Structure 1
């Protein structure tokens, strides 16, 4: 049976269900598979299969403590008509790459791919483990995770969900999606800080043993919907495997041919999922990590030094406005040879010195990664050029990825077939997209949605229609030191 261990060492080994419930390890580490499992099939054997069939095998291989019946329940509940495309994840050729469209779920962002199934994985886990406490889902968001988690857990019995987002740090559409969320168990708060502040505050709450005990006395147990939860991360592996199979199906590659994968990322979870797909056996030549102006990951990949002593920028790709990339810890653990003591030391240095240097061994293990970044002007130009030349509409995050990919090709001449993770609908960032394709100014983000729709004819996702007319149900704004008190009051 697959076991999960902490990135910061220790003898604890958990089943998948136990790790999903726990969220984060008691020693502040993140749970990782003790061994990444091999692909349960040859990719060429799966051509013609549905997304659900492929996801069942991939997720089930990681979480083999779930019975076939339990896993089918999770898959069938997650990937259904709530997705606007029957195939769940279309793969679309545009320009010089293939776009893995991950945004056709209820909230129009890639987070739906994992957060549609996490509530099923978690509630199934609580039954398997005879957990009698209410599960309190605690989440920090840079824009998309919050809404997707709220949508997934709204009115799910035995749960409460609390989301913190940076005030003035998400798009108008993203904010309105969250603050209009329905559900008796949903709680949403803006914090006076950036995403790193929110994420650090959430981790601090998780690591406060006295507070955990206090909540336990109130009948609550903390868990997470952020990608620090292995139950959020593993489902993301499935879509990279699916993307590779679709390229075989379309004759772009033969089974066994290598591809490149480009991922716009801030917290490193989405590209880590691609790394796990590679470790399972998907032939990946290069994993290209695309950053915005907050280029901490680009610099780290180039130098082996992770340094957050730098300016923080608010950009038009806000889900990547992050300096502390939590999931990088998981990669470092694997590349260190599962050296929990080394990772604990590195994370301690990040906390105390705001920087760390990795070992030569870890740097050598990163040879398949390369990084690049695009600032706001580059991002907007990429959107405009792609639409003008190919009639294809990208959101700002996907545009960062495409620009970084184009730069990589120009530098290397590498013509390997490439999948780009397309992480959100263009309508979630309609103001930037509208201006990038030459449209006039509008009074607010919602009018920009109308203008882009009228100009392009691209369908507006159901979840974004008439969003400005929905009732605002959550209007709390708090200071960072109030986060713990806010959690306690929300679960009473």
Structure 2
């Protein structure tokens, strides 16, 4: 017969084990427990994590019984202390008998403090997990080691002779992350009371999925429950039905300094996982699924183990290299993850065509990211990229057009990026077109541009990570300010820095750097966004050759205090009149959040040459724009991180021009190899070279600048990719 505690037994034990002196639970705390139903709260973590003490506090505040597995299950079953059992049977046998005892345990509506070794027994954890919510107390290893030392416990189950406590804790972490439903990140030195409060908040969040919603920048803040949008909805939809962009209704979660310092010691994938868990509700994407996605996204496909390393450039300037992904662009940081999130959130009965407008880097990054999905997901997902035929570099064009995997292709247009982006947004807004595709082909349109929330969210990670790297390397102490300078076109990269700041990263100023298409710089200076008679001018930095910055809408929504009526009015005017002006009070707020400047083509090339002469480091043309603007606008009183958004090899002809190298080779592969010899850093991008070798000489499709022609491309792509519904 299974080990079963009756309600009366649990109540007696709970009363005997509660902390004292304490007052009775407040009524709201009892109500807090009511929505748990029969679910247990299962506290998991290493020995010394504080599970027993935290469990007592949580149980008291919720008015629930507390069960300690060591005392109430194991010792009751074995009729001897746990330590004595371990000494009698040894580690391997102990784990098996401990697991079997847990398999016979049954209880409901309890707070259960698991033993530190329970997660090592898969059958036992599967059994108890079915009865409750597994909350992982992710405690700093140094705190655990100090507590175990105070407890005079220098060995734990499974620790062999010669293996340090630190190593065994690291080994066990993989098992804790396998079983968790919710992580509670504990800062170094957190008290048990602070940890208990974090547990209560984490349980509240898990059980209140309906409260973690998204709204359109142009929509009402309160929607009927039937129309509430969650993470999985906005990932698939991309653009809101009213033409606005989705944002989290309650903003971003904020971490405290001790939590950030925990992240400083972690790798990039570990940082990404913890931060994304806080931003994506586990009922949209489970912790286990999210972990698998993150480890796949930021693994061997990045040439740098650091993923997005920060390097000193000169004086107070640092460069964050965001180009170590497979397509040599910062877009990889989002687009190696976003397709996995998208596929996970897809409803089961539809096909999806991802439409992308790109000014260069997004196209190849989207094609690369979606090509890495499983074969089943690729069969339901098509990708169609539109790019300006004369508005991208030759290497960017080759990267996009060389992709021939699955339902994916790139088509160029004799127009600029803004035409491509405007056409795609128009398609989303035409009910006749979207309805026809849904009925005839069971196909829904979506997007992977930075208007899609799942595309923007991962970019918050690298802005946070750059600050943490500077803390880890003792350039700054946590709390010291930094500035960031970002080559700015569609404003997504800048907006993600705004969100990193909202999460608690001490970014003082976000500096937006434009080329001679300086619409963002002019807007920040004057509050007027004016596209009338403003032609798009090609530049050496084509990825920021953009006049209509989509994510600026999210920024105006942010600084206006979520004034959706104002946002709708302004951006409707921009669509119809090509002009809007923000109120004076809002202009001041904009300028408090960001600085903005621009540089000429000559200044851009001169910066590449100057930095190369002084340091040997070779920048691409976009990073050079950031360098010029940072030199002009940043006051030198704190470090500034320049976002290096692409590898110099993607814009080789411009870099040759900057370095004044005569007789540059015409072959793109030879160009990359020649530049690699010139640079002390960064190294040549091997995956980009291989892509060009394989895809060189291929022809691609070119369209005239006609909206109807682009619609025909969409229908043709769907006909080729998906079976017609009969």
TM-score range, shorter chain: over 0.9
Other-structure match for 1:285? 508
Mapped partners of 2:305, 2:379: distance in 1? 28
Q: How far has the Cα of 1:477 moved from its partner?
A: 0.7
Kept in 2, the 8 Å contact 1:176–1:468? The answer is no
Unmatched tracts of structure 2, length 5 or more:
1-208, 720-726
Structure 1 stretch 283-292 or stretch 474-483: which is displaced more? 474-483
DSSP 3-state at the match of 1:347: helix
Other-structure match for 2:251? 36
Aligned-residue Cα RMSD (Å) equals 1.5
Kept in 2, the 8 Å contact 1:36–1:280? The answer is no
Alignment of 1:141 with 2:368, yes or no, is: no
The higher relative CO (CA closer than 8 Å, separation ≥ 6) is in 1
Write the mapping of 1:246-265 to structure 2, written as runs, cut at 5 A.
246-265=469-488
DSSP 3-state at the match of 1:285: strand
DSSP 3-state at the match of 2:299: coil
Other-structure match for 1:123? 343
Write the mapping of 1:91-240 to structure 2, written as runs, cut at 5 A.
91-96=310-315, 97-126=317-346, 130-154=347-371, 156-217=378-439, 218-240=441-463
Q: How far has the Cα of 1:462 moved from its partner?
A: 2.1
Return the match for 1:243 from 466, 483, 498. 466
Measured against aligned partners, the alpha-carbon deviations of 1:467-486 in whole angstroms (never above 9, x if no partner) come to: 15525556111123211111
Mapped partners of 1:361, 1:291: distance in 2? 24
Return the match for 1:57 from 274, 287, 297. 274
Other-structure match for 1:377? 602
Kept in 2, the 8 Å contact 1:431–1:445? The answer is no
Q: How far has the Cα of 1:35 moved from its partner?
A: 2.0
Kept in 1, the 8 Å contact 2:451–2:551? The answer is yes
Write the mapping of 1:434-445 to structure 2, written as runs, cut at 5 A.
434-444=656-666
Mapped partners of 1:276, 1:148: distance in 2? 23
Mapped partners of 1:397, 1:455: distance in 2? 19
Return the match for 1:448 from 668, 671, 682. 671
DSSP 3-state at the match of 1:465: helix
Alignment of 1:363 with 2:593, yes or no, is: no
Mapped partners of 1:48, 1:339: distance in 2? 39
Aligned residues: 486
Mapped partners of 2:672, 2:595: distance in 1? 34
Mapped partners of 2:357, 2:600: distance in 1? 24
DSSP 3-state at the match of 1:139: strand
Other-structure match for 2:262? 45
Other-structure match for 2:238? 23
Kept in 1, the 8 Å contact 2:398–2:696? The answer is no
Mapped partners of 1:48, 1:370: distance in 2? 31
Mapped partners of 1:131, 1:472: distance in 2? 39
Q: How far has the Cα of 1:453 moved from its partner?
A: 1.6
Structure 1 stretch 437-446 or stretch 347-356: which is displaced more? 437-446
Mapped partners of 1:457, 1:358: distance in 2? 46
Kept in 1, the 8 Å contact 2:218–2:243? The answer is yes
Q: How far has the Cα of 1:173 moved from its partner?
A: 0.3
Q: How far has the Cα of 1:363 moved from its partner?
A: 1.5
Measured against aligned partners, the alpha-carbon deviations of 1:83-115 in whole angstroms (never above 9, x if no partner) come to: 000111111100231111110000000000000
Kept in 2, the 8 Å contact 1:172–1:445? The answer is no
Q: Which structure 1 residue ranges, 4+ long, deviate > 4 Å from structure 2?
A: 471-474
Other-structure match for 1:401? 626
From the superposition, tell whether residues 226 and 451 of structure 1 become closer, same or farther in structure 2 (CA, over 3 Å): same
Measured against aligned partners, the alpha-carbon deviations of 1:142-178 in whole angstroms (never above 9, x if no partner) come to: 0000000001112634210000000111000000001
Return the match for 1:323 from 512, 523, 547. 547
Measured against aligned partners, the alpha-carbon deviations of 1:60-87 in whole angstroms (never above 9, x if no partner) come to: 2221132111211221121110000011
Structure 1 stretch 110-119 or stretch 250-259: which is displaced more? 250-259
Mapped partners of 1:235, 1:472: distance in 2? 34
Kept in 2, the 8 Å contact 1:192–1:477? The answer is yes
Unmatched tracts of structure 1, length 5 or more:
none
Measured against aligned partners, the alpha-carbon deviations of 1:122-153 in whole angstroms (never above 9, x if no partner) come to: 11111xxx331111110000000000000111
Other-structure match for 1:389? 614
Other-structure match for 2:714? 487
DSSP 3-state at the match of 2:262: helix
Q: If the length of structure 2 is used for normalisation, what is the TM-score?
A: 0.65
Mapped partners of 2:667, 2:482: distance in 1? 37
Other-structure match for 1:298? 521
DSSP 3-state at the match of 1:92: strand
Higher alpha-carbon Rg: 2
Structure 1 stretch 250-259 or stretch 443-452: which is displaced more? 443-452
Measured against aligned partners, the alpha-carbon deviations of 1:388-414 in whole angstroms (never above 9, x if no partner) come to: 1011111000000011000113xxx34
